[in-house]
């Protein structure tokens, strides 16, 4: 039996991954503090441990008690835009927490650490398609944290022989995503807004583009990479191949949900914020190693997610409790829905 740890397994991508690993016969233990994930997301068959990756004693105890073969490390708070305003929390949670996991992967001789980094490591404010060899120059603390962890994993490999596979997904959407997080996941935010007020909010004019990626298209390579020799100690972009503007996304969703009898009353444009304008990546490398991967058309993926979201119903959008800097914090994050 393969023993796997999934950190962040109560979250969006982590719960899909856990389901996949269970179907492959892994024994899965989830470590999650439920800060972003939900207990209801946890797939039947997984063992759930509520704990924080920042707590090194909790992490150490878990590694001590279980002989993990593989560690899939997904736990993080991935609110890229908000990360400017929660810098200390971002680095503690996403870097120090990850270092606790890396230390114990070394200490307990885990066979491979699989890490979900992000396209945010590339940064760049101008239009660009990234290959894994593109220059990395993150423009926000979230991206900096992801890059720091990637680099630490690389150093741990060089120094201690820790084997790893790193994935850099981007703009993933789908069922089980937290649509009540007001700071992240534009697809989920739009769906929640459609259900709550019918008014969609967009930063700037909506011309910023994203290659939205359906979650079902990225899970298999992440789960199965442990069987691929060529995926060892390497980094892969993974996700959608086609870019859409945020405005296009809004129109597509309005049209799609109108068809189902819910009328969205429109779009409100908010002051522009500093963010990557066009985020897309090449996926030649992941295809060379894993073969052709599914590429769910946007409308199809959105329809699947909407079906699920409608059933779930609208969600509250609580504010982050401990914002560290308020200078330039977007108004919509200060008040209102």
Would you count residue 174 as binding ligand NAD (CB under 6 A)? no
Closest distance of CB 83 from ligand NAD, Å: 10
Catalytic residue (choose from 115, 142, 173, 214) = 142
Tell me how far apart the alpha carbons of residues 279 and 123 are, in angstroms, rounded to a whole number: 9
Question: Does the footprint of ligand NAD cover residue 78 (CB under 6 A)?
Answer: yes
47 scored as a contact of ligand NAD (CB under 6 A): no
Q: Return the number of the residue (211 or 264) whose C-beta is nearest ligand NAD.
A: 211
Per the annotation, the verdict on 142 as an active-site residue is: yes
Spatial CA neighbour of 102 closest among 181, 159, 172: 159
Measured between alpha carbons, how far is residue 128 from residues 78, 143, 159, 287 in Å? 22, 16, 34, 20
Using the rule CB under 6 A, which residue among 77, 89, 164, 203 binds ligand NAD? 77
User: CB-wise, 72 or 333, nearer to ligand NAD?
Assistant: 72
Asked if residue 123 binds ligand NAD (CB under 6 A), the reply is no
Q: Nearest approach, Cβ of 15 to ligand NAD (angstroms)?
A: 8
Q: How far is the CB of 274 from ligand NAD (least distance, A)?
A: 19
* Window of 52-60, 63-71, 299-307, 311-319 that interacts with ligand NAD by CB under 6 A: 52-60
* Residue 308 Cα distances to 58, 60, 175, 191, 302, angstroms: 34, 37, 6, 11, 10
Q: Which of 4, 18, 83, 116 binds ligand NAD (CB under 6 A)?
A: 116
Interface positions, 142-171, toward ligand NAD (CB under 6 A): 169-171
Residues 6+ apart with CB under 8 A from 47: 27, 28, 29, 30
Which of 21, 53, 102, 153 forms a contact with ligand NAD (CB under 6 A)?
Answer: 53
Q: Decide if 8 contacts 38 (C-beta within 8 A).
A: no
Per the rule left: phi > 0, alpha: psi between -120 and 50, beta: everything else, 71 is beta
Q: Tell me which residue of 194, 330, 177, 327 sits closest to 262, measured CA to CA.
A: 194
Please select the residue that binds ligand NAD; options are 4, 5, 6, 13, rule is CB under 6 A: 13
Q: Which is nearer to ligand NAD, 119 or 162 (CB)?
A: 119
Q: How far apart are CA 7 and CA 265, in angstroms?
A: 39
Q: Residues 143, 121: contact at Cβ < 8 Å?
A: yes
For ligand NAD, the binding residues (CB under 6 A) are 8, 10-14, 31-37, 52-54, 74-78, 93, 97, 116, 118, 169-172, 178
């Amino acid at each position: 039996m393969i023993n796997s740890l999934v950190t962040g397994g109560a979250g969006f991508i982590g719960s899909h991954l856990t389901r996949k690993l269970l179907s492959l016969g892994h024994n899965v233990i989830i470590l999650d503090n439920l800060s972003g994930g939900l207990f209801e997301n946890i797939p039947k068959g997984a063992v759930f441990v509520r704990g924080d990756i920042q707590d090194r004693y909790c992490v150490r105890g878990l590694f001590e008690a279980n002989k993990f073969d593989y560690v899939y490390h997904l736990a993080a708070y991935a609110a890229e835009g908000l990360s400017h305003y929660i810098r200390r929390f971002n680095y503690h949670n996403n870097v120090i927490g990850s270092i606790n996991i890396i230390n114990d992967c070394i200490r307990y001789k885990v066979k491979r650490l699989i890490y979900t980094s992000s396209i945010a490591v590339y940064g760049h404010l101008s239009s660009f398609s990234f290959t894994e060899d593109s220059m990395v120059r993150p423009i926000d603390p979230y991206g900096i944290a992801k890059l720091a962890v990637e680099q630490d994993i690389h150093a741990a490999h060089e120094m201690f022989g820790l084997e790893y596979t790193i994935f850099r997904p981007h703009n993933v959407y789908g069922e089980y995503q937290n649509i009540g997080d007001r700071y992240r996941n534009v697809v989920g935010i739009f769906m929640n807004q459609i259900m709550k007020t019918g008014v969609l909010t967009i930063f700037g004019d909506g011309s910023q583009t994203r290659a939205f990626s359906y979650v079902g298209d990225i899970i298999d390579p992440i789960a199965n990479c442990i069987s691929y020799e060529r995926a060892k100690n390497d980094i892969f972009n993974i996700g959608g191949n086609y870019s859409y503007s945020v405005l296009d996304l809004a129109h597509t969703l309005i049209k799609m949900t109108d068809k189902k009898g819910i009328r969205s009353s429109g779009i409100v444009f908010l002051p522009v914020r500093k963010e990557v304008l066009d985020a897309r990546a090449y996926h030649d490398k992941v295809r060379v190693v894993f073969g052709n991967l599914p590429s769910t058309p946007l409308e199809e993926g959105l329809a699947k997610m909407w079906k699920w979201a409608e059933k779930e119903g609208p969600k509250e959008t609580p504010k982050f409790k401990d914002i560290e800097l308020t200078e330039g914090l977007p108004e919509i994050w200060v008040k209102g829905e």
